[in-house]
A and B are shown apart, each in its own frame.
Chain A
């Protein structure tokens, strides 16, 4: 019985992998169906999915606010000095 279950249904390892694959590249039709069945039965992977989605959103925020200030005038001078060499 366990064997059949494993053939038909995804393990949690595979399911979380597909959740990530879906975000990055999208899924094939059969992957989508198998993932949907798994998610409907597994609360841990459901939580993983929604948290993964939040983490993606957070990463987008972080990358948005990463620009840093430097002393531009000093930097420009150092470039020009390099170019003259």
Chain B
């Protein structure tokens, strides 16, 4: 009975669960593992499923826990901003280094967001960032949450969070400017 029900859920909900997982972790292999683990947990916890929510909602909530766990594991080591990275951009008074001041971009309005070339350079530049910096930037979109909620989930302080994203943005901006013909 139990396995039969779960098997029918596998055929009904795998697609939705997978799409959710892959949009949250952006790694297809990992997403597959998380979906698989979701069904394994569902078998274990089947007796706690009361039918007061739909099976899909229940499975999604198991999956969400797995995703948050994944990020929590990853962030268990504190992430420290690298002070020497700042030296590339600012002098000891905190003023822009000569030649590093952001210039005006020719196209600087919202049209840029429909520009495929801009988006693909952004993507390449994102991929060059250190892993955890990338996650800090992406997590609020990925988890569809506000930044302070993301900090709570990951148990990191808000100031640690924006100091990381600040550095990531400095790096990203410079990378875009260098690689994108303005």
Could you list which residues of chain A lie within 8 angstroms of chain B, going by C-beta atoms? 6, 11-14, 16-17, 20-21, 24-25, 43-45, 47-48, 50-52, 54-55, 57-63, 66-68, 70, 72, 75-76, 78-80, 82-84
User: Nearest-CB distance from A54 to chain B (Å)?
Assistant: 6
Contact, CB under 8 Å: B95 / A12: yes
Segment 36-89 of B: residues with Cβ below 8 Å from A: 36, 39-40, 43, 86, 89
User: Nearest-CB distance from B56 to chain A (Å)?
Assistant: 15
The complex places the Cα of A84 from the Cα of B6 at a distance, in Å, of 11
Chain B residues near A6 (CB-CB < 8 A): 93
Contact, CB under 8 Å: B112 / A20: no
The complex places the Cα of A21 from the Cα of B36 at a distance, in Å, of 38
Segment 16-34 of B: residues with Cβ below 8 Å from A: 18-19, 22-23, 26, 28, 32
Could you list which residues of chain B lie within 8 angstroms of chain A, going by C-beta atoms? 3, 6-7, 10-11, 14-15, 18-19, 22-23, 26, 28, 32, 35-36, 39-40, 43, 86, 89-90, 93-96, 101-105, 108, 110, 112-113, 118-119, 122-123, 126, 137-138, 141-142, 147-148, 158, 161-163, 165-166, 169-170, 172-173, 176
List 12 other contacts, CB 8 Å, given A17-B162, A47-B105.
Answer: A6-B93, A11-B93, A13-B94, A24-B147, A25-B148, A45-B102, A54-B113, A55-B172, A58-B122, A63-B141, A68-B28, A70-B18
